[in-house]
């Protein structure tokens, strides 16, 4: 998610910028960046409070919507900034994708950060680094596919050996592979870090 991974760094960059204009009736790039950093931290605090149970859902939604509006206003001001074209471009880009950045408000299964996804990829990255590469294109394609199956079955609490045995048996028979993973109900799915 943008609030947690990409934009705080950009906000920090904006906060460190100073313009060459000494007097202006509007905030400069540095001031906008500082305000955006404060708002991003407030989003984190609010998110952590709902997760640890110290904030009820109604107040969580109200606060997040208020923060979203404040962040949008700051980004719109950043688009009009005259002392830094980099800040203008960063704010314009953030506003263009703004709806996507707040997806975690619509669906609780989507975490605020991408830390969980990055941890899931870690074993693949390590395997790729220590395996001395693949000897063929098919071997290189196999590794991400098998790891995807393993991680998905782990999350769905399925036995990967049984699933793969069934898929391979169907493939060896020459017919279509009809095995499908069961999709859990949205209210029963919890990510491992939310247990």
**Domain locations in the chain as residue ranges:** 7-106, 115-194
| 48 sits in which H/E element | helix 29-51
**DSSP string of 103-118?**
HHHH-TTS-SSSHHHH
Output the pTM of the full model.
Answer: 0.57
Residue-level pLDDT at 62: 94
Residue-level pLDDT at 175: 84
> Residue 90: helix, strand or coil by DSSP?
helix
Cα of 16 vs its chain's centroid, Å: 25
Q: Could you tell me if residue 120 is left (phi over 0), alpha (psi between -120 and 50 degrees) or otherwise beta?
A: alpha
Per-residue pLDDT of the chain (195 residues; tens, 9 = 90+): 444 444 555 555 555 555 544 444 456 778 888 888 899 999 999 988 988 889 998 999 999 999 999 999 999 988 888 777 888 888 898 899 888 888 888 877 777 877 777 777 787 778 777 776 667 788 778 878 888 888 888 888 889 999 999 988 998 998 888 888 776 565 554 544 554
Residue-level pLDDT at 187: 53
N-terminal to C-terminal alpha carbon distance within the chain: 21
d(CA 21, CA 38): 24
């Amino acid at each position: 998610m943008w609030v947690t991974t990409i934009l705080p760094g950009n906000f920090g960059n904006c906060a460190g910028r100073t313009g060459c204009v000494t007097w202006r009736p509007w905030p400069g790039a540095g001031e906008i960046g500082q305000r955006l950093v404060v708002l991003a931290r407030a989003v984190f605090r609010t998110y952590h409070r709902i997760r640890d149970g110290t904030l009820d859902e109604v107040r969580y939604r109200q606060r997040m919507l208020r923060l979203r509006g404040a962040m949008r206003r700051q980004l719109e001001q950043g688009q009009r900034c005259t002392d830094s074209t980099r800040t203008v471009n960063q704010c314009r880009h953030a506003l263009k994708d703004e709806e996507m950045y707040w997806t975690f408000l619509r669906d609780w299964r989507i975490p605020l950060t991408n830390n969980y996804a990055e941890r899931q990829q870690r074993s693949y990255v390590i395997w790729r680094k220590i395996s001395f590469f693949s000897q063929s294109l098919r071997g290189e394609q196999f590794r991400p596919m098998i790891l995807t199956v393993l991680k998905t079955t782990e999350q769905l609490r399925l036995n990967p050996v049984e699933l793969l045995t069934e898929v391979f048996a169907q493939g060896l028979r020459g017919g279509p592979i009809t095995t499908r993973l069961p999709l859990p109900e949205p209210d029963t799915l919890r990510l491992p870090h939310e247990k």
